Copies of this chain bind each other. A is one copy, B any other.
Amino acid sequence: MTVELICVGTELLLGNIVNTNAAYLAEKCAGLGLSCYFQTVVGDNEERLSQVLRTAMERSDIVILSGGLGPTEDDLTKETAARVCGRHLEMHEESRKAIERYFAAKGVEPTANNWKQAMLPEGAIALENHNGTAPGVILELTGAKVVLLPGPPGELCPMFEESVEPYLAGLTSQVICSRTVKICGVGESRAETMVKDLIDGQTNPTIATYAKTGEVHIRVTAGAQDKKEAMKLIKPVVKELKYRFGNDIYTTEEDTTLEKAVADLLQANELTVACAESCTGGLLAARLVNVPGISDVFKTSVVTYSNKAKKRLLGVKKSTLQKHGAVSQETAEEMAKGAAAQLKADVAVAVTGIAGPDGGTEEKPVGLVYIGCHVKGKTTVKKYQFSGNRNRVREAAVSAALALLRSCILEYFSKVTFGSKE
């Protein structure tokens, strides 16, 4: 069964707001096992909206529209949909009363145009709006089902979950489930090459790779009659991926980020961590502090941007800086060691590099980064060459630092498994 999304609003066409409704509805529909092949954005314009709606109704089983149900003259989604579907608008008594109650509760007089919102296409299913005045609408036509939802996410999301999701679930017999295997420290091309035979050979489950900064996510998706059956199809593929990528997999949990996986590993091993950052300027510490409850293991960190700060706060030797420079294997090593000692942490990560746009030389180009990781007495330093602008270099360095931190801890405690909860 196919679904198609139409988001209505000039502010989307002008780029004033990001279309979070489309992402929300798409994810919900995918979870219901509906195939979504098209999303369209169109303005509050009757002719163009009619054109888009007709096309959608021809090629999809369900069409969900959002936006344009407000009380103003600009809002014409309902009027247009009614016309395209050949239905008249009529006053919907319950919706009229709901609007009356809504304004009474606020102690405000409704304006004349508010009553327009209680006019619904004849024969429509009305969807109650507990967070605003525009009721939603489901129109059941012979060809397609048309669902109209209000645009504000605070109204759309609760209405979808309360009324539309159960309605749509009743229409389909199939369930779609997916599992994401998240990998760090392996490039996208290499990851893809490593699973190409699996991708080529499979139709259900399907396997797809997504590149994130410093990470690759592999999503395994299966359709079946029920969740149990779908998970049964997914399981052997996830097992095979675990075999192929081993410790490079940092999680198979949907909600777990790389920093969360690192935080879990630190917490499980009761290790405190400190960062000593130069070019990343605090971004690495901030990524760790993204994780709620990090205070168990994260106490303090420093940004040592100048040489003086590296000497004073981390005890990096003057001679090291003079001989090898601030961006060097040797400085990264002393920064990591110094951070562990000075900040009294079990584990320390140090980042020093040239983020650009200036400061690069032939020998040490922009994008060169050294990351040092000290775990209970042992220090590992790795050299990286990132590309892109200042921001990209810094973000890539942060992801690489988290990946290196993770692998150094795993190496130290080689008995610990890789954080998957299976």
Contacts and interface: CB of A to CB of B under 8 A. Distances in A.
A417 to B, nearest CB: 27
A37 interface: yes
Interface residues of A, number: 108
B25 A15 contact: yes
B38 A40 contact: yes
19 contacts: A12-B23, A13-B37, A14-B30, A15-B23, A15-B29, A18-B22, A38-B52, A40-B40, A70-B188, A105-B365, A107-B385, A131-B392, A154-B391, A281-B288, A281-B289, A281-B301, A282-B301, A292-B357, A300-B305
A172 interface: no
Contact of A292 (B14, B283, B358): B358
Interface string A97-122: 00000100111101101100000000
A20 B70 CA distance: 25
Contacts of A390: 290, 292
Given A15-B28, A16-B210, A308 B299 contact: yes
Nearest to A279: B289
A295 interface: yes
Given A18-B22, A154-B388, A300-B303, 13 more contacts: A12-B26, A14-B26, A16-B208, A37-B48, A40-B41, A55-B55, A105-B365, A275-B282, A277-B282, A281-B288, A281-B289, A286-B286, A300-B304
Contacts of A110: 189
Given A26-B15, A105-B365, A192 B303 contact: no
A379 interface: no
A17 interface: yes
A204 interface: no
Interface in A30-49: 30, 36-43, 45, 48
Contacts of A73: 199
A244 to B, nearest CB: 16
A22 B18 CA distance: 8
Contact of A18 (B18, B158, B292, B308): B18
A163 interface: no
A280 B286 contact: yes
A270 interface: no
Interface centre among A14, A102, A192, A211 (most CB of B within 10 A): A14
A309 interface: yes
B301 A303 contact: yes
A313 interface: yes
Contacts of A55: 55
Interface string A294-320: 110011111111101100110000000
